[in-house]
Amino acid sequence: MPEVLYVFLCKSCGMPIRLQAQTLGRIFQAPVSQATDIDSVGAVCFHCKHVANYSFHRSSPDCRPGYRSEVANPIRETVYAKQLRCGEENCKTPLRIYAQWSESTTDEEREKDIAIWKWDADLHCPRGHKIEIA
Question: What is the SS3 assignment for the chain?
Answer: CCEEEEEEECCCCCCEEEEEHHHHCCCCCCCCCCCCCCCCEEEECCCCCEEEEECCCCCCCCCCCCCEEEEECCCCEEEEEEEECCCCCCCCCCEEEEEEECCCCCHHHHHHHHHCCEECCCCECCCCCECCCC
Question: Considering only CA atoms, which of 8, 84, 87, 6 is closest in space to residue 45?
Answer: 8
**Under 8 Å between Cβ of 98 and 41:** yes
How long is the chain? Answer: 134
Predicted local confidence at residue 36, as pLDDT:
45
Predicted local confidence at residue 81, as pLDDT:
94
Predicted local confidence at residue 100, as pLDDT:
96
pTM for the whole thing? 0.88
Residue by residue, pLDDT tens for the chain (134 residues) are 899 999 999 999 999 999 999 988 766 655 444 444 557 899 999 999 999 999 988 888 899 989 999 999 999 999 999 999 998 989 988 999 999 999 999 999 999 999 999 999 999 998 889 997 76
